[in-house]
Amino acid sequence: MNPSEIIELLEAPESDPRPTVYDLLDRIESHELVDALRIAVHDKTKNALIDLLGDRAEQAALPLLVASLNADSSEVRAAAADALAKIGDRTAGPDVAAQLSTEADTGVQHMLLLAVGATGYTDGAEDVAKWLSHENKVARGCAAWSLGALQAAEYLPALEELFAREERGYAFDRAREAIAAIKGQESAE
């Protein structure tokens, strides 16, 4: 299947064409998905392709996914951050962290916070830690999760403080998990 045919499937009039593409996924080569993303015009199509590439953890898509962090559409930016998190390649970390510093959309901010941790970009821990005091509890939780994923032991006191002041919910749970992850790693050393 060539990139144009993939795009035609994704742009079919049905509401969500991804199940059709997922059914064909075994027969679609990764380079064809990357080429389709390269030529895709519509955000809906880009989102579906980005999701597929992320689910495949397709390394060849990294440059396009990083470029998609600067898309006009917040949905495309969020999908790109999610795909980069799924791929987990540390080389994407600096771009993810840079986008986090300028991103205005709350949902994209959350995905970027998670992606910093998922990519293992330890140099981004300081920027992520600033979000532990954000007014948005989901952002606080995403930051806590990311610091746990990064094994950022230097932020253990800040995570414990967040856990102590947070009410039950997302941020509370992520802080607890991050503390456990860091302490578990410290005791294993």
Provide the CATH number for the domain around residue 41: 1.25.10
**Are 7 and 86 found together in one domain?**
yes
| Residue 52 belongs to a domain | yes
Considering the domain boundaries, does residue 115 fall inside one?
no
Shared domain check, 81 and 2: yes
Q: What CATH code is carried by the domain that includes residue 138?
A: 1.25.10.10
Give every CB contact of residue 77 below 8 A, 6+ residues apart in sequence: 68, 69, 70, 71, 99, 103, 105, 108, 111
Which of these three, 92, 112, 142, is where a domain ends? 92
**Separation of alpha carbons 171 and 143, rounded Å:** 9
CB 60 within 8 A of CB 35: no
Number of domains in the chain: 2
User: Does residue 105 fall inside a structural domain?
Assistant: no
Instruction: Determine the pLDDT at residue 12.
Output: 74
Residues 88 and 125 in one domain: no
Q: Considering the domain boundaries, does residue 114 fall inside one?
A: no
Position 113 in a domain = no
What range defines the domain where residue 183 resides?
121-189
How high is the pLDDT of residue 7? Answer: 87
pLDDT tens by residue, the chain, 189 residues: 889 988 887 787 766 656 666 676 667 888 999 999 999 999 999 998 999 999 999 999 999 999 999 999 999 999 999 999 999 999 999 999 999 999 999 999 999 999 999 999 999 999 999 999 999 999 999 999 999 999 999 999 999 999 999 999 999 999 999 999 999 865 544
Dihedral of CA atoms 75, 102, 151, 117 in degrees, nearest 10, equals 20
Residue 173 lies in a domain: yes
